[in-house]
């Protein structure tokens, strides 16, 4: 049963706090202690999802009302909000479970009236800004990413065939699942757009007679990827370059992009898929793996955009497909992964928390609070919000891939019994 807020007679001093949360906390039970020590409770008292938070800033309720995501994220980073009971996850579960109520609140509707300005900011993803945006996140210390990623440093959604899978097994399964969709053939030339630290490119080339070129805008990732290729004695087979996707001037049999499309920006979707069409050979196959939203196109999250992924934008399938249609490419397969990224982020958060003291030695306390808020908030958005991951397979020719998806599922079954599956080699397209 939904309960009304329980507050003392001093409630009138901060009416925005009571009025806002009364209407927003529909699921879960949230207790708030404001900067004056006033205690207010909101939501369902019988709910198992419970948290108590303390505000250390008397202006915070107004900031949250005007811009919830930015205000909450910054307050947690700065220590102006602390979790008194429960964990950060419980608090963010309540927040994300009530997103629909937040979006329909009158103050949010006023803010949304200014969303027409968003396309202007999204346009700031031309080459110069793209390099700066990538450097903001991916040129952080390599030691930071080694604290929470798997051994292969896969920084994208894993593929869990079972919730009990280890992170390493799920990331290996992800690489194998994508390899299956690429239908690799001996002698193929493969382009990896946004290659990260090179794990996928090296895995694809390791047991197949193919050449892979990986491109990135991160100098830190490039150095690591090149070193890994040399250490694996794959330097002639796998090359990496600091290159923008718009600068590609050769054709490839296969193109893959994992976790990079989120950084393209809505204004550049058509250019991205035009590049895919221009550089993919007539009988080629491409696979794009990206975070997406199940809702219509919307705004970038203000806290994520400011602190984590400047220039980033989560695409809706509708606007993605609209851009693909203009490229002339065939969409030969679409797969939606719903909770896989939530599980991935759970592993990352747990690993980061276990080694938080090492992150504190690399950066400072504010950075650590920012990073744990980022990982926990993203996990909850995949569990309770409208985020998901999609994989889109593309080709110039309608018969470039088999008529059914059996080749994917049969490969996944075979790979499930192996610790590190080898790339799928296409033998028959009939």
**Catalytic residue ranges:** 378
The DSSP result for 317-362, as a single string, is: HHHHHHHHHHHT-EEEEEEEESSHHHHHHHHHHHHHHHTHHHHHHH
Residues with Cβ < 8 Å from 328, sequence gap 6 or more? 277, 396
Q: Write b or e for each residue in 241-268: b if 16 or more Cβ atoms lie within 10 A of its Cβ, otherwise e.
A: eebbbeebeeebbbbbbbbbbbbbbbbb
User: Would you call 430 exposed, middle or buried from its count of C-beta atoms within 10 A (0-12, 13-18, 19+)?
Assistant: exposed
Question: What contacts 24+ positions apart, CB below 8 Å, involve 115-118?
Answer: 115/298, 115/299, 118/299, 118/300
Residues with Cβ < 8 Å from 249, sequence gap 6 or more? none
Beta bridge partners of 216: 242
Residues with Cβ < 8 Å from 241, sequence gap 6 or more? 213, 214, 215, 216, 222
CB atoms within 10 A of CB 349: 21
């Amino acid at each position: 049963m939904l309960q009304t807020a329980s507050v003392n007679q001093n409630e009138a001093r901060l009416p925005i706090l009571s009025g806002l949360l009364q209407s927003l906390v529909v699921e879960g039970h949230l207790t708030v202690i404001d900067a004056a020590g006033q205690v207010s409770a909101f939501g369902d008292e019988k709910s198992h999802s419970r948290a108590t938070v303390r505000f250390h800033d008397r202006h915070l309720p107004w900031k949250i009302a005007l811009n919830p995501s930015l205000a909450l994220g910054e307050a947690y980073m700065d220590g102006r909000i602390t979790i008194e009971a429960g964990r950060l996850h419980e608090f963010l579960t309540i927040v994300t479970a009530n997103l629909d109520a937040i979006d329909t609140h009158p103050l949010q509707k006023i803010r949304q009236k200014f969303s027409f300005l968003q396309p202007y900011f999204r346009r700031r993803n031309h080459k110069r800004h793209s390099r700066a945006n990538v450097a903001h996140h991916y040129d952080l210390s390599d030691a930071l990413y080694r604290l929470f990623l798997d051994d292969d440093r896969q920084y994208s959604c894993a593929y869990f065939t079972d919730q009990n899978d280890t992170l390493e097994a799920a990331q290996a399964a992800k690489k194998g699942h994508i390899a299956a969709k690429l239908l690799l053939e001996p002698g193929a030339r493969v382009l990896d757009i946004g290659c990260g630290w090179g794990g996928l490119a090296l895995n694809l080339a390791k047991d197949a007679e193919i050449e892979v070129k990986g491109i990135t805008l991160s100098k830190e990732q490039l150095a690591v990827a090149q070193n890994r290729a040399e250490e694996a004695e794959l330097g002639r087979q796998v090359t990496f370059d600091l290159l923008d996707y718009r600068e590609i001037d050769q054709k490839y049999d296969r193109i893959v992009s994992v976790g990079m499309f989120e950084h393209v920006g809505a204004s550049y979707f058509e250019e991205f898929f035009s590049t895919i069409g221009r550089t993919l050979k007539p009988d080629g196959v491409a696979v794009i793996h990206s975070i997406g939203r199940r809702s219509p196109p919307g705004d970038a999250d203000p806290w994520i955009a400011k602190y984590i992924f400047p220039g980033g934008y989560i695409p809706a399938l509708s606007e993605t497909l609209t851009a693909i249609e203009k490229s002339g490419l065939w969409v030969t397969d679409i797969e939606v992964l719903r909770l896989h990224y939530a599980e991935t982020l759970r592993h990352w958060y747990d690993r980061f928390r276990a080694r938080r003291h090492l992150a504190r030695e690399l950066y400072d306390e504010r950075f650590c609070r920012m990073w744990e808020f980022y990982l926990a908030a993203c996990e909850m958005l995949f569990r309770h919000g409208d985020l998901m991951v999609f994989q889109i397979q593309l080709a110039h020719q309608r018969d470039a891939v088999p008529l059914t998806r059996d080749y994917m599922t049969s490969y996944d079954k075979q790979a499930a019994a192996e610790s590190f599956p080898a790339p799928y080699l296409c033998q028959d397209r009939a």
